[in-house]
Amino acid sequence: MQVERVVLRQINLPLVSPFRTSLGIEYEKPALLVQVTTSSGDGWGESVSGFDASYSSEYIEGTHDVMQRHLIPRLLAAPSVTASAVAPLLAPVKGHRMAKAALEMAVMDAELRSYGMSFATSLGAVTDRVPSGVSVGIMNSVPELLAAVSGYLDQGYRRIKLKIEPGWDIAPVRAVRERFGDDVVLQVDANAAYTAADARHLARLDDFGLLLIEQPLDEEDMRGHAALCRDLRTPICLDESIVSARSAADAIAWGACHIVNIKPGRVGGYLEARRIHDVCAASGVPVWCGGMLETGLGRAGNAALAALPNFTLTGDVSASDRYFATDITEPFVLRDGHLDVPGGPGLGVVPIPDLLDEVTTSMQELVR
Ligand code: OSB
Ligand code: MG
């Protein structure tokens, strides 16, 4: 299959409520979408890079730039491309995993559609629905947080993740535990807001029966995370630190995590995400699927990934209405606390043209 044309489209979707983390506050969700036209049909991809470079070094304008200058020319010049060939083809360009992930996703969507095969089947899914968790941002007050958590539990979410930072950690976690009880599956995510010197403070979270603490320290602080693994009773999960199957294998070997959050965008695509799943499975390390407030496109792929056998923990794959009043695809809905894994060819969803046009802020076409 040959890539004949790539359309880059930046969109901006308003969020139903602001999402605050230790990294900052987001009112809207930008995304860079990729539409490839190949000799075997079209495919869609979504980059998870954001406005600023706060979560990782990648950001949407940088993603756009490296795609058009360095990555897409390689795709267009290749005599034959398959999803599996995308990463090797783009490997001479260092880094930029979010950009590479979106391009691989689009090629994979086109390829699988041409076979009539779903992402789920192709990746090795073993279920047709996945339990849904929700990531709850930092709020202005504990009562506001309790109201938000109460609403999500009423909707049926199976697991609550609280964003934490210094000054918003022990008290909100205690309040949620006291109000909703020990049966609520509860975890926290610090997005690297602490340092090794905070170990004693973080150990106070051990009182609350948390499933895990996600990325407490800097993404490069492997020794610090290994020390926390030894000193805390609560399991440590890595997000930002895990950028490849190799880094996952290293983190496990160094005792730097008990659990891994897998985000396809962060690790260069669904195929590397599956390799991380496999490495973790071989080491007895459970994984779960993270999220980056994706549109229905990324959500479709994430739901498929989350259906693999070692995704034994509930992911941040929430329903579309947790994020957007109107998604750009048919919305994902919560049924009995689960999302259905799309079973149609490729991602199993496509953007709805009118909805897409409404939120598009710029477009660029590159041809062979
Ligand atoms: O650390 O998991 C994170 C959103 C943006 C950037 C980083 C993170 C998140 C989330 C949201 O927690 C998860 C979701 O998509 O619901
Ligand atoms: Mg995280």
Rounded to the nearest whole angstrom, what is the distance from the C-alpha of residue 66 to the centroid of ligand 2? 25
- Asked whether 135 lines ligand 1 (CB < 6 A), one says yes
> Which of 29, 100, 161, 263 is flagged as catalytic?
263
DSSP state of 68: I
**Which pLDDT score, from 0 to 100, does residue 51 have?**
95
Per-residue pLDDT at 23? 96
CB of 26 within 6 A of ligand 1: the answer is no
Residue 130, both tokens: 């996945």
ipTM topping 0.90: yes
Ligand 1 atom nearest to 290, measured from its CA: 2
The residue from 29, 100, 161, 163 that is catalytic is 163
CA distance 72 to 78: 10
Phi-psi region of 96 (alpha: psi -120 to 50; beta: other; left: phi over 0): left
Please answer whether residues 210 and 186 qualify as being in contact, where contact means their C-beta atoms are separated by less than 8 angstroms.
Answer: yes
- Nearest atom (ligand 1) to Cα of 26: 5
Q: pLDDT digits over 103-123, tens only?
A: 999 999 999 999 999 999 999
Beta-carbon neighbours within 5 Å of ion ligand 2: 189, 214, 239
Residue with tokens 């799309």: 342
Per-10-residue mean pLDDT, the chain, length 368: 98 98 97 98 98 97 98 98 98 98 99 98 98 98 98 98 98 98 98 97 98 98 98 98 98 98 98 98 98 98 98 98 98 98 98 98 98
Residue closest via CA to ligand 1's atom 7 equals 292
Q: Which atom of ligand 1 is nearest to the CA of 163?
A: 12
Which pLDDT does position 8 carry in this prediction? 98
Q: Which residues lie closer than 8 Å to 361 by C-beta, 6 or more apart?
A: 10, 11, 12, 30
Catalytic (active site) residue 29: no
Determine which residue's CA is closest to atom 13 belonging to ligand 1. 291
Q: Which residues contact 183 (CB under 8 A, 6 or more apart)?
A: none
**78 CA → ligand 1 middle, Å:** 34
Q: Which of 15, 19, 20, 21 to mutate to test the pocket of ligand 1 (most atoms within 8 A of CB)?
A: 21
Q: Which atom of ligand 1 is nearest to the CA of 240?
A: 1
> How high is the pLDDT of residue 328?
98
DSSP state of 235: P
Angle between helices 83-90 and 270-283 (to 10 degrees): 90
Q: Which domains does the chain have, with CATH numbers?
A: 3-116+349-367 (3.30.390.10), 121-340 (3.20.20.120)
Q: In the 8-state DSSP scheme, what is residue 79?
A: S
- Residue 94 among the catalytic residues: no
Q: What's the gap between Cα 332 and its chain centre?
A: 16
Nearest protein CA to atom 4 of ligand 1, as residue: 292
pLDDT of residue 15: 98
In degrees, rounded to 5, the angle at the alpha carbon of residue 329 between the alpha carbons of residues 82 and 290 is 70
pLDDT (tens digit per residue) in 244-290:
999 999 999 999 999 999 999 999 999 999 999 999 999 999 999 99
Q: Does the CB atom of residue 55 touch ligand 1 within 6 A?
A: yes
Six-digit token string for 228: 């926390």
